[in-house]
């Protein structure tokens, strides 16, 4: 990770439990925490792809824990995050995203803060900035499962007297992200086919580079004003998928790339969504630093080193 990430000196030596550390955001989170000198316990069914200092791996299924873990902070990233998968496998989704969260919280003793990443897909579609108290749309299995996860965290932490912070991620992207997500999907198509096929170019999203996302989360983790509150984590800017495709072509430097818009209806997902980031910006010293253009270029360059997995 680059030097754009803040120092977060308060986390040096802190005991931090991270779930879902084998995933895209989780692995990047652990890298940053390790570089800060935190003492990290990873609870996951898959060991992270890289070995890092100060990281202890504990193999476990969050639905079937059999020991108590103690730490200063918990960052609970483990979840089913693909909305289409959630619709096809709702029982698995609720078992992991809701019951897994309940069971995890019953098996940890956290001193300082529980951080729960949720999703912007709980919101109703809007082309204007969406604040944390905006109207919600829980008609998809994934959105409902994350909403219930939020309620579980609030209930448990209030009962146990532990501070919590809920962060609703918009579309986070960066090197290492799987091609099932829109940005690496587009870049992979350029590299492999010199053409791009998108399902619906008019869909609008708020894209945030992973370093900026992690910087915000860790600053919130140590900020007293962020206790027992919900924050949007996004760029505060909106872009169409067609624009993402065109920017990706420019970042690649490839010539003659054809972009095909299938104009399909996208199920279980809002047509437009953009974060109002006033609350997070006014609470912590944070502003997104990596533009979509620069983030796409860094992802394209990283693909030469095998950082975007297939």
CA–CA distance, 72 with 85 (Å, rounded to integer): 33
Contacts of 71 (CB under 8 A, 6+ apart): 15, 16, 17, 41, 108, 109, 110, 111
How many independent structural domains does the chain possess? 1
CA distances from 4 to 168, 177, 211, 214, 290 (A): 21, 19, 7, 10, 9
Average pLDDT in the 64-82 region?
A: 97
- What is the percentage of the chain residues whose pLDDT exceeds 70? 95
How buried is 168 (Cβ within 10 angstroms: 0-12 exposed, 13-18 middle, 19+ buried)?
Answer: buried
Give the CA count within 13 Å in the CB-facing half-sphere of 119: 27
Quickly state the pLDDT bin for 231 (edges 50, 70, 90).
very high
Q: Is 252 a domain residue?
A: no
Q: Distance between the two ends of the chain, CA-based, in angstroms?
A: 21
Contact between 296 and 187 (Cβ < 8 Å): yes
Tokens of 231: 């924050």
* Segment 124-145, tens digit of pLDDT: 999 999 999 999 999 999 999 9
Q: Considering only residues 304 and 19, tell me which one the structure prediction assigns the higher pLDDT.
A: 19
Q: Is 264 a domain residue?
A: no
Give the CA count within 13 Å in the CB-facing half-sphere of 107: 19
CA–CA distance, 105 with 115 (Å, rounded to integer): 11
Q: Is 132 a domain residue?
A: yes
* Segment 84-106, tens digit of pLDDT: 999 999 999 999 999 999 999 99
Burial pattern 181-198, b for ≥16 Cβ within 10 A else e, equals ebbbbbbbbbeeeeebeb
Quickly state the pLDDT bin for 305 (edges 50, 70, 90).
low
Q: Is 198 a domain residue?
A: no
Quickly state the pLDDT bin for 6 (edges 50, 70, 90).
low
Average pLDDT in the 153-181 region?
A: 97
Other CB atoms within 10 Å distance of the CB of residue 265: 9
pTM: 0.94
Domain holding 221, by residue range, is: 11-173+207-236+274-288
Range with the lowest mean pLDDT among 1-5, 73-77, 175-179, 200-204? 1-5
Q: Is 249 a domain residue?
A: no
Range with the lowest mean pLDDT among 50-54, 265-269, 287-291? 265-269
Average pLDDT in the 248-264 region?
A: 96
pLDDT confidence of residue 310: 34
pLDDT, the chain, mean: 94
How buried is 126 (Cβ within 10 angstroms: 0-12 exposed, 13-18 middle, 19+ buried)?
Answer: middle
Other CB atoms within 10 Å distance of the CB of residue 101: 26
pLDDT confidence of residue 309: 40
What's 31's domain CATH number?
3.40.50.720
Read off the DSSP letter of residue 125: P
Question: Quick check: 304 pLDDT over 80?
Answer: no
Average pLDDT in the 12-34 region?
A: 97
pLDDT confidence of residue 54: 96
Question: Quick check: 308 pLDDT over 80?
Answer: no
Quickly state the pLDDT bin for 10 (edges 50, 70, 90).
confident
CA–CA distance, 290 with 92 (Å, rounded to integer): 35
Angle 173-247-264 (CA atoms, 0-180°, nearest 5)? Answer: 80
Question: Quick check: 8 pLDDT over 80?
Answer: no
């Amino acid at each position: 990770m680059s030097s754009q990430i803040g120092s977060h000196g308060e986390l040096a030596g802190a005991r931090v439990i991270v779930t879902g550390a084998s995933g895209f955001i989780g692995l990047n989170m652990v890298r940053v925490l390790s570089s800060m000198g935190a003492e990290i316990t990873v609870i996951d069914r898959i060991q992270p792809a890289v070995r890092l200092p100060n990281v202890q791996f504990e193999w476990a299924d969050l639905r079937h824990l059999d020991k108590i873990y103690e730490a200063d902070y918990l960052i609970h990233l483990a979840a089913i995050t693909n909305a289409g998968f959630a619709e096809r496998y709702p029982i698995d989704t609720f078992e992991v995203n809701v019951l897994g969260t309940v069971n995890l919280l019953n098996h940890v003793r956290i001193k300082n803060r529980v951080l729960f990443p949720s999703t912007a897909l709980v919101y109703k579609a809007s082309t204007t900035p969406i604040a944390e108290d905006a109207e919600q749309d829980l008609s998809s299995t994934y959105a409902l499962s994350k909403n219930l996860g939020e309620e579980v965290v609030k209930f448990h932490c209030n009962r146990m007297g532990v501070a919590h912070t809920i962060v609703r991620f918009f579309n986070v992207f960066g090197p290492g992200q799987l091609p099932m997500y829109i940005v690496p999907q587009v870049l992979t198509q350029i590299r492999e086919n010199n053409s791009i096929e998108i399902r619906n170019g008019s869909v609008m999203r708020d894209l945030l580079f992973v370093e900026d996302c992690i910087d915000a989360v860790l600053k919130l983790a140590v900020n007293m004003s962020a206790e027992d509150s919900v924050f949007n984590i996004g760029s505060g800017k909106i872009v169409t998928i067609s624009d993402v495709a065109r920017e990706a072509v420019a970042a690649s430097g490839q010539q003659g790339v054809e972009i095909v818009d299938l104009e399909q209806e996208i199920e279980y997902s809002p047509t437009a969504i953009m974060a109002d980031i006033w609350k997070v910006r006014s609470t912590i010293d944070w502003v997104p630093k990596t533009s979509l253009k620069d983030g796409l270029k860094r992802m394209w360059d990283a693909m030469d080193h095998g950082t975007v997995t297939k």
